[in-house]
Amino acid sequence: MRRYVFGRLGQVILTLLIYVTLVYFLLQAMPGDITMMYLSNPKIPQAAREELKKQLGLDQSLFMQYVSYMKNFFRGELGVSFSQYPKPVWDILMEKLPRTFVLFLTANVFSFYVGFVMGKVIAWRRGKVIDYAATVVGITFWTAFYPLLALVVIWIFAYNLKWLPLNQFIDPRLWSAAPFTANQVFGNMVYGAAIIGIGIFFIFYYLLRGLKPSRRSRAQAWALACALIAAVLFVAARKGMLIYIWDITRHMILPVFTLTLINFAGTMLLMRDSMLETVQEDYVMAARAKGLPDKVVRDRYAARTALLPTVTSLVLSLASSMSGGMVTETMFSWPGLGQTLFAAALSNDYPLATGALAFTGIFLLIAHFIADILYAVLDPRITYTGQSGV
Amino acid sequence: MDTLLRLEDLTMHYKTKAGWVQAIDNVSFSLHRGQSLGLVGESGCGKTSVAMSIMRLLPYNAKLVKGRVLFGGHDLYTLSDEEVRQLRWKEVAMIFQAAMNSLNPVYSVGNQIVEAIVTHEPETGEDEARERVKSLFELVGIPKERMDHYPHEYSGGMKQRAVIAMALACNPSLIIADEPTTALDVIVQDKILREIEEIRRTINMSMIYISHDVSVIAEVSDIVGVMYAGRLLELGPADDVFKRPKNPYTYSLMNAYPSILGEKHDLVTIPGEPPNLLDPPTGCRFHPRCDWATKECREVEPAWREITKGHYLACHNPVRTEHGTAHNKTARRAPGKGGDGIGTSGGN
């Protein structure tokens, strides 16, 4: 296992290198450069423009620029943004990253969970009304034009019903007197979510692996999970952050809802298909013959083994949501990585655009890496010994 | 002896796009506690459907047209789903046709058995259940350290044993073994059959063996039922049925199998194929393949009657000992082989 993990890490780094190279040259292939921004300004003389190019290092050959960029990249130095000069790219990304991360991770987890549960239910009751209804509704949203759907959702819930805020990720009136910056709160939300997530994973890991059939241990696991969540919330309350966390959460509801609406059908249909195969398996029939309750047969036998392909889809949906993030962030005025990337690309801000894309890539590679590890956890038949070449 | 299981005129059809498949037709038999019944017949003759009817595990397109399944005083098809669920495994357990695939690949074998025990006996603690699994593993001959291993870490024979251990987990009154050893090689097959029989006799459990293999059924059954195209053609004590088969189908089926201990004889195949049950033949369902079919066989459905004590038959023109030789003359022989040895192992 360890050998596998290290080998896989090596692959991740190699892929990252190729990816950043591609991104770098693709962005450079865009017409013009930062100095073109000043082209229409007749007051800037040609000499000053040349001087600017020289200062930014754009007068060197493309290859030399690339070499120096890569050298810096692997030292964690992403350069300085052209359009927000002299702010370092790293600082800009670190400011935006948590917002994007929290929003899309939440949206993905939600749409995955909704899709998984619905897929499970409709596969179990295939051919019934609920099967057709869920499929039609799911496909309708899946094929809807996303920006329009987002506008409709905003129009209904924020404009007409006024249940939720229109846009942005914080309410400026509340935050003017806040003792923290939004990013501190965000950071804490990420830590909190990570602690809860990892904690719950370990609590249920035991159950997932071992299939403890008794309800007692299941109830214990739930109790532990609830205690963990309560503890994290308590710490947040002690710090006086709860109201700010609630504000951010409120702003997240609409984008997460919209993303879930549009994405859940993918997971649902995949889960349905995958489970239609597993319900035919002999061990599902055997489980029914064993006199296990219907729900147990569905969840622990049919759905449990159908989970694997769906986990792949979770990873892939992380990928698509990172690129689709630009639309979401624009529609909901969410000041995150997607918006930053969009603005950087428009203004020929190579370092910022490359940096933002590189981060998207790093996310993806990490997601794939985690998916591979998850496979081994979910399916005991998969073992990474390193020798067998599985 | 008290009756554990009784099927009364069980008739069950499957709905398909092409029409109703008459999978089980008027099947009746009863089984006493501690008795073993062997159901034998070609593939697709309804043996597994009978088993699934007893478990009430029929697919959604199956319809019980007529008849009852009485198990230990319960009429199975009048019970609620929940009541049937509680009877399963506790009272009737099953060893599946594909034992290799009847274990869930993502949970350890031991836990799958523990699950069955804890579900049906909620008062049993998990540790206690694990202890029982250990002793079951000893009983069927799997090292007990293997209970926390996953199915893919087991060999075929071990999986088969594990499935048997699972069937025994709740001390059921009846185990239905559907082709329990078909996937195994002959030596392991024989060993496992003997072990099952030994366990069965020790704990006085009833058993229904289902197989297309006459030799397997002959080895382990007290009574034998011969099925053809969804109907029982003959049922009786194993000795009776195998030594003095009355139905021409039973007779042909036995000639189609080699006998190791008996005299050498040529194997005679039964020409033709089992009928399409969407539109079964009129009269006796075996008549198109029967060498001794008469006009009556083609037109009138033979009655299910008791010919000697415990020996039931549905045939207009049964095999008689003296006319067994007459049958031999008309029986088709394997190509290139002659001789009058046909039927010597079972014909007299």
Domain boundaries of chain B, sorted by first residue: 244-330
Would A67 be classed as within a structural domain? Answer: yes
Residue ranges of chain B whose CB lies within 8 Å of a chain A CB: 55, 57, 81, 85-90, 93-94, 96-98, 101-108, 111-112, 114-116, 118-120, 126, 150, 152, 166
Would A196 be classed as within a structural domain? Answer: no
Count CB atoms within 10 A of the CB of residue B212: 18
Q: Which candidate from A286, A300, A379 shows the least CB-CB separation from B96?
A: A286
ipTM > 0.85? no
Query: CA A112 to CA A321: how far, in whole Å?
Result: 12
Residue A219's contacts (CB-CB under 8 Å, 6 or more residues apart) are none
Would A26 be classed as within a structural domain? Answer: yes
CA distance B85 to chain A (A): 5
- The residue among A278, A282, A290 with the most chain B CBs within 10 A of its CB, best to mutate, is A290
**How many domains are contained in chain A?**
1
Asked if the Cβ–Cβ distance from A282 to B96 is below 8 Å, we say yes
Would A387 be classed as within a structural domain? Answer: no
Would A43 be classed as within a structural domain? Answer: yes
Query: CA A319 to CA A365: how far, in whole Å?
Result: 9
pLDDT on residue B259: 63
Query: CA B199 to CA A344: how far, in whole Å?
Result: 77
- The residue among B112, B154, B160 with the most chain A CBs within 10 A of its CB, best to mutate, is B112
- The pair phi, psi for residue B276, each rounded to 5°, is -75, 125
Query: CA A77 to CA A73: how far, in whole Å?
Result: 5
pLDDT on residue A266: 87
Asked if the Cβ–Cβ distance from A288 to B57 is below 8 Å, we say yes
In chain B, residues with a C-beta closer than 8 Å to the C-beta of A381 are 105-106, 150, 152
More confident residue, A238 or B331: A238
Tens-place pLDDT, residues B23-38: 999 999 999 998 999 9
- The residue among A283, A305, A310 with the most chain B CBs within 10 A of its CB, best to mutate, is A283
pLDDT on residue A320: 64
Which residues span the domain enclosing A18? 2-74
Q: Which candidate from A282, A285, A290 shows the least CB-CB separation from B116?
A: A290
Q: Which of B104, B57, B110 is nearest to A278 (CA)?
A: B104
pLDDT on residue A304: 86
A187, with CB counted inside 10 A (0-12, 13-18, 19+), is middle
Would A11 be classed as within a structural domain? Answer: yes
Asked if the Cβ–Cβ distance from A290 to B115 is below 8 Å, we say yes
Q: Which candidate from B85, B101, B152 shows the least CB-CB separation from A291?
A: B85
Return the structure tokens found at B16: 């398909």
Residue type, A139: I
pLDDT on residue B133: 93
Tell me the DSSP string of A184-226: HHHHHHHHHHHHHHHHHHHHHHHHHHH----HHHHHHHHHHHH
CB B332 within 8 A of CB B315: no
Asked if the Cβ–Cβ distance from B119 to A289 is below 8 Å, we say no
Q: Which range among A208-212, A283-287, A293-297, B172-176 shows the weakest confidence by mean pLDDT?
A: A208-212
Residue ranges of chain A whose CB lies within 8 Å of a chain B CB: 210-214, 281-283, 285-294, 296, 300-301, 304-305, 378-381
Report the chain B residue with the minimal C-alpha distance to residue A304: B106
Would A32 be classed as within a structural domain? Answer: yes
Q: Compute and round to an integer the Cα radius of gyration of chain B.
A: 21
Range picked from A62-76, A219-233, A238-252, B11-25 for highest mean pLDDT: B11-25
Q: In B147-203, where do the E strands start and end?
A: 174-178
Residue-averaged pLDDT of chain A: 81
CB B195 within 8 A of CB B112: no
Would A36 be classed as within a structural domain? Answer: yes
Tens-place pLDDT, residues B150-205: 998 998 888 888 998 999 999 899 999 988 877 677 887 888 888 888 888 888 89
How many Cα atoms within 13 Å fall on the side-chain side of residue A251? 24
User: Dihedral (C-alpha) A24, A26, A27, A32: value to the nearest 10 degrees?
Assistant: 130
CB B129 within 8 A of CB B147: no
Asked if the Cβ–Cβ distance from A214 to B93 is below 8 Å, we say no
β-strand pairing of B92-95 with B305-308: unpaired
Mean pLDDT calculated for residue range A261-270: 89
Query: Could you tell me the CA-to-CA distances from B70 to B79, B81, B124, B304 in Å, in that order?
Result: 11, 16, 29, 19
Tens-place pLDDT, residues B56-76: 988 888 999 999 999 988 899
Report the chain A residue with the minimal C-alpha distance to residue B166: A290
Percent of chain B with pLDDT over 90: 31
Tens-place pLDDT, residues A204-237: 766 655 445 455 566 777 888 888 888 888 888 7
